[in-house]
Amino acid sequence: MHSFQAGYEWGSQSQDGDIPLLLTGRELVIKWNWRMVTFRRCSQMQPECASRVNLRRVTADAGREQLLGGIGCIERNHCLFQHAIIKGGISMSQNQKTVLYSVEDTVATIQMNRPHVKNALNENMLHELYAAFQEANKDDKIAVIALTGTDKAFSSGADLKSIPVHQLADFDHGEYLSKHYNPLILLINESHKPTIACINGVAVGAGLSLALACDFRVAADDAVFALSFLNIGLIPDAGTSYFLPRLVGLGKALELGLGDKLTTAEALRIGLIHQRGDGKALIDSLKKLPYPAYSWMKANMKAGTQLSLCEVMQLEVEGQRKAGASTYHRQAILQFLNGKK
């Protein structure tokens, strides 16, 4: 990448609700959250891909600033902005995905991929996680969905640096949760397939919340768990207040909410995780489960935490009627009667 004496920073975004695209010269280097990315100018204007933008040019001369305005667009194969996401978001290029998605056998592995910040969650990663879980849910060949992180971190929680400092006073944390976190948590929790969080390192704040939304949690011996919300004057969110008391009890959940760190051994002892290890053995077991019987069992047990006994038993009647009519059940009974395992 070329070296420039003068960099460019974000100025004000247009009021039309579109994501600003950039046009100044043949090539730009834009500083975004301390990362430098290169843009190339289009040879032809594409109005449908353009939006007004102001850039503040910080010159080499101390204190001098020059406001620049323009309309432009970026070549599609170089464009780092995606119009499909909520306004103001930024997406990494194809070779810099914040989420890696792979399929092996019948297992979809969704891997958070921002190792330079211990897989801290920004808006773009949340959108890519949502898309990945959607893809795994709708793929009939997928039997198990595994969530993990790259390098030696699961996720260090929300990326606080992704909030522009000049917007901090007006930043609506509740709206941000509603738009970006809550849909993802619901999607994971309501998946009809087995979901497993393979916690390969630090799982803090909202990163831990993602793990709690999964059906199963396994952790490496050197993993670390913590709810760090109170340390910055916030409260546990992204479903933590729902999942945690149900897993470890109200008293322990309140204690964990104070922010103390847990080791893997401690997390296993209190029931926060199911196993130690890399999760491969559990994944192999989950792959063999009869589907959709597992999905009905999962739905009924989740309902059982909120409904009355009579309501839950009626759900069991309906689910058992479907399971009893399945090919898997009939074959299993015939094998049993014939003396086969």
Q: Judge if 246 and 223 occupy the same domain.
A: yes
CA 158, distance to chain mean position in Å, is 10
What is the helix (H) or strand (E) element at residue 65, kind and residue range?
strand 65-72
Give the domain-ending residue among 49, 77, 96.
96
pLDDT for residue 96:
62
60 with 139, same domain: the answer is no
| Residue 8, beta-bridge partner list | 30, 57
Which of 51, 68, 96 marks a domain boundary? 96
Contact 102, 141 (CB under 8 A): no
**Domain final residue pick, 70, 96, 122:** 96
CA separation for the pair 188, 113 (Å, rounded): 18
Confidence of residue 137 (pLDDT cuts 50, 70, 90): very high
Whole-prediction pTM value? Answer: 0.68
Residues 274, 256 share a domain? yes
Whether residues 216 and 326 share a domain: the answer is no
pLDDT digits (tens, 9 = 90+) for 76-98: 222 332 222 222 333 333 446 89
Identify which has the larger pLDDT, 166 or 112: 112
Model confidence over 20-70: pLDDT tens digits? 333 333 333 333 332 333 333 333 333 333 332 333 332 333 333 232 232
136 is written with which tokens? Answer: 């795994």
H or E, element range at 323 = helix 309-324
Pick the closest to residue 194 from 107, 93, 321 (CA basis): 107
Q: Count the alpha carbons within 13 Å of 133 in the hemisphere toward its beta carbon.
A: 27
Residue that wins the pLDDT comparison between 38 and 239: 239
Token digits of residue 265 = 């051994």
Range of weakest confidence among 90-99, 201-210, 245-254:
90-99
Residue 191's CATH number: 3.90.226.10
Least confident window among 56-65, 103-112, 307-316? 56-65
- Give the sign of the dihedral formed by CA 319, CA 146, CA 123, CA 230: positive
Range of the domain at 331: 293-337
Residues forming a β-bridge with 10 = 55
pLDDT at residue 74 greater than cutoff 50: no
φ/ψ bin of 106: left (φ > 0), alpha (ψ from -120 to 50), beta (otherwise): alpha
The answer to whether residue 229 scores a pLDDT higher than 60 is: yes
Q: How many domains does the chain have?
A: 3
